[in-house]
């Protein structure tokens, strides 16, 4: 939702269209803020991605020897600590060590696959429940099946950093929307921002409209962006670490929280856990919305 005075820019970052909207600045200041935010978000993609040829410490870690300490940059180390905490809080549903499974299922590469991998290949790469250790400022893999993958949290982190740069540029009313994952600040003139949550099956349809202002993130995980149908079954890019297969509890899960990093990780966890996961997110005081496999909507109180 936007008004005539809003400044809009769209960039392609992190494999998705990122839309920047600024409501409280002249064109020149807004352009500067957007350029800075976009550069920062691109830097974060390069820092965390396990795809492509750009070298980074995450890829190095994934190639490191077993039980060999590796010093990660502070930023990577900090986000990994957050991720491992959420892994524990989500009873293993969110797991930053499922990179091997992710690469095997192949959804995040440049080509969308069309056939599920063999069960034997899944069994071979499925990581044990703990396989990353922090020791004296360094990290190590304790198992070859353990490959880091920040795909379910780095986009949220990038959005948070983009908003931080907006604030540093004196922007106080804006939205960053990275393929439906959103953080907003301030308001839209004298009104709240209006945010629509996409229907997981009917393209162009909205299942819920939220009116929000202040400092809020709205992040959704769904089975409708990267998927294929094989023999009547839908295969998509969110893996249940317990089975090694795409999760089967939800069509979509949305978290509303005050930052996009946590909202991103928890939307993935909630997607995997389904409505049961709402008890966990309620305890953490997040608002949430799930659509189960039958299309039934549940909203937290």
Binding site for Mg ion (CB under 5 A): 152, 155, 264, 267-268
Instruction: Give whichever of 188 and 237 is closer to ligand ADP, judged by the CB atom.
Output: 237
Which of Mg ion, ligand ADP, none sits in contact with 30, Cβ below 5 to 8 A by type?
A: none
Stretch 132-151 residues interacting with ligand ADP (CB under 6 A): 149, 151
- Does 261 interact with ligand ADP (rule: CB under 6 A)? no
Please compute Rg for the chain using Cα positions.
19
285: left (phi over 0), alpha (psi -120 to 50) or beta: left
Applying CB under 6 A, what is the total number of residues that bind ligand ADP?
A: 20
Instruction: Give whichever of 140 and 247 is closer to Mg ion, judged by the CB atom.
Output: 247
Instruction: Give whichever of 100 and 151 is closer to ligand ADP, judged by the CB atom.
Output: 151
> Smallest distance from the beta carbon of 167 to ligand ADP, in angstroms?
23
Question: In this structure, are residues 225 and 88 in contact, taking their beta carbons and an 8 Å threshold?
Answer: no
The Cα 168–Cα 269 span in angstroms is 31
Closest by CA to 73, choosing from 57, 59, 96, is 57
Instruction: Give whichever of 72 and 101 is closer to ligand ADP, judged by the CB atom.
Output: 101
> Smallest distance from the beta carbon of 231 to Mg ion, in angstroms?
28
Stretch 76-105 residues interacting with ligand ADP (CB under 6 A): 94-96, 98, 102
Closest by CA to 149, choosing from 67, 87, 224, is 87
- Does 239 interact with ligand ADP (rule: CB under 6 A)? yes
Which one-letter DSSP state was computed for residue 139?
Answer: E
Question: Residues 59, 141, 155, 236: which binds ligand ADP (CB under 6 A)?
Answer: 155
> Smallest distance from the beta carbon of 111 to ligand ADP, in angstroms?
14
Helix (H, G, I), strand (E, B) or coil at 128: coil
- Does 162 interact with ligand ADP (rule: CB under 6 A)? no
Instruction: Give whichever of 14 and 23 is closer to Mg ion, judged by the CB atom.
Output: 14
Which of ligand ADP, Mg ion, none sits in contact with 98, Cβ below 5 to 8 A by type?
A: ligand ADP
DSSP one-letter string for 66-131: BT--BPPPHHHHHHHHHHHHHHHHTTTSS-TTBHHHHHHHTTTSSS---SPPPHHHHHHHPPPS--
> Smallest distance from the beta carbon of 209 to ligand ADP, in angstroms?
20
Handedness of CA 242, 246, 248, 254 (dihedral sign): positive
Which of Mg ion, ligand ADP, none sits in contact with 251, Cβ below 5 to 8 A by type?
A: none
Contacts for 231 with CB less than 8 Å, ≥ 6 apart: none
Tokens (6 digits) for 165: 């740069």
253: left (phi over 0), alpha (psi -120 to 50) or beta: beta
Q: Which residues, listed in sequence order, are joined to residue 11 by a DSSP beta bridge?
A: 18
> Smallest distance from the beta carbon of 151 to ligand ADP, in angstroms?
2
> Which residues of the chain form contacts with ligand ADP (CB under 6 A)?
94-96, 98, 102, 107-108, 149, 151-152, 155, 221, 225, 237-239, 241, 264, 268, 272
């Amino acid at each position: 939702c936007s008004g005539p005075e809003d400044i809009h820019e769209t960039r392609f970052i992190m494999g998705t269209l990122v839309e920047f909207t600024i409501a409280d600045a002249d064109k020149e200041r807004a352009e500067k803020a957007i350029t800075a935010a976009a550069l920062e978000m691109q830097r974060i993609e390069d820092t965390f991605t396990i795809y492509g040829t750009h070298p980074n410490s995450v890829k190095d870690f994934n190639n490191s020897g077993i039980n060999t300490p590796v010093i990660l940059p502070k930023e990577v180390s900090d986000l990994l600590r957050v991720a491992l905490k959420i892994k524990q809080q989500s009873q293993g549903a969110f797991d930053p060590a499922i990179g091997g499974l992710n690469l095997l299922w192949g959804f995040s590469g440049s080509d969308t696959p069309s056939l599920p991998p063999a069960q034997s290949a899944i069994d071979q790469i499925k990581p044990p429940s703990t396989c990353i250790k922090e020791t004296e400022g360094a990290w190590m893999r304790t198992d070859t099946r353990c490959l880091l993958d920040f795909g379910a949290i780095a986009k949220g982190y990038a959005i948070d950093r983009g908003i931080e740069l907006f604030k540093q540029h004196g922007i106080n009313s804006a939205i960053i929307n990275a393929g439906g994952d959103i953080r907003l600040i301030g308001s839209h003139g004298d009104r709240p921002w209006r945010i629509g949550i996409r229907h997981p099956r009917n393209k162009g349809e909205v299942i819920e409209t939220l009116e929000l202002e202040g400092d809020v993130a709205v992040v959704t995980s769904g089975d409708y962006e990267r998927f294929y149908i094989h023999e009547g079954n839908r295969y998509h890019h969110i893996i249940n670490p317990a089975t090694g297969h795409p999760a089967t509890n939800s069509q979509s899960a949305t978290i509303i929280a005050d930052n996009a990093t946590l909202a991103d990780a928890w939307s993935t966890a909630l997607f995997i856990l389904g409505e049961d996961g709402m008890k966990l997110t309620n305890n953490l005081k997040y608002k949430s919305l799930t659509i189960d496999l039958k299309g039934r909507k549940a909203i937290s109180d």
